[in-house]
A and B are shown apart, each in its own frame.
Chain A
Amino acid sequence: MKMEDVSLSSMDNSKMEGFAQEILSDLVEDACLGLCFEVHRAVKQGYFFMDDTDQESMKDFEIVDQPGVDIFGQVYNQWKNKECVCPNCSRSIAASRFAPHLEKCLGMGRNSSRIANRRIASGNNTNKSESDQEDNDDVNDNDWSYGAEKKAKKRKSDKVFLHSLKQPVLSNPNSPRRSKSMKHKND
């Protein structure tokens, strides 16, 4: 029991407890009455039974509780083990790895330009493409300014850019790419 160290002038503990119970009782009664009034109004206004539907419809939307299936009855890890064919490199990739792979494969997305910039910046001497010499200085700036410049140039430089992405893999042993993908890039 909690120690109450306040002087209770004319009421002792048991009376206090009784009083507290009384207050609680009043509050509960208020709650009950409130509910009754609400229900009564709803009945008389005609909206009390609104959320009841016929048995058949209730059955249709019942919560499903089976393994391997969500509460709507849909299979939710259906695509976990599927494999997709990449339209770019024609490899078969697992579904959950597909998006990041596409990002790198197509050379779009934040990470792929960062990786590409890093590779180019780490000094690729064997690359003879024209854009490379000009771009080397710009390459270390942040992604978006490099991208803006890219847009200003003509389409051709995009192709060259993609090429420079692929070639560095050959000569740079520190490429973040796994060796498996390197083999395929050489094809």
Chain B
Amino acid sequence: MRREMCFINMSKESQMRAAINQKLIEMGERERLKELLRAKLIECGWRDQLKALCKEVIKEKGIENVTVEDLVAGVTPKGRALVPDSVKKELLQRIRAFLAQHST
């Protein structure tokens, strides 16, 4: 995780977020969401689009020299932008539903 949380100074909000995140993982919902997202992204061709972008990075850097960082840096920003709105909407719906259920 990117944030370092000092438990003593955590606000109630942060506490709650941490708690929900934990529930998300423990209840397996995060894994299910990941799978759902993966399936949707394959379906809509996002995966193929990104693979094509990767090909460009590879051709630029050369097969021997290309590193994971090259790929990540070259592809992730576009990858985020290319996710279709419908997919985002559907995932958000599920996330919101989970939050509503488990945020008390």
Contacts and interface: CB of A to CB of B under 8 A. Distances in A.
A178 interface: no
Contacts of B41: 31
Interface string B66-104: 111001100110011001000010011101100111011
Interface string A20-57: 11011101111111111101100100001000000000
A48 B64 CA distance: 13
B96 A40 contact: no
B20 A19 contact: yes
Interface in B14-33: 16-17, 20-21, 24, 30, 33
Interface residues of A, number: 32
Contacts of A43: 58, 63, 66
A9 interface: yes
A16 interface: yes
> Size class of B's contact patch?
35 or more
Nearest to B78: A32
Contact of A32 (B76, B93, B101, B103): B76
B97 to A, nearest CB: 8
B13 interface: yes
Given A28-B79, A39-B71, A9 B104 contact: yes
A8 interface: yes
A97 interface: no
Interface of B: 12-13, 16-17, 20-21, 24, 30, 33-34, 37-38, 41, 47, 50-51, 54, 58, 63, 66-68, 71-72, 75-76, 79-80, 83, 88, 91-93, 95-96, 99-101, 103-104
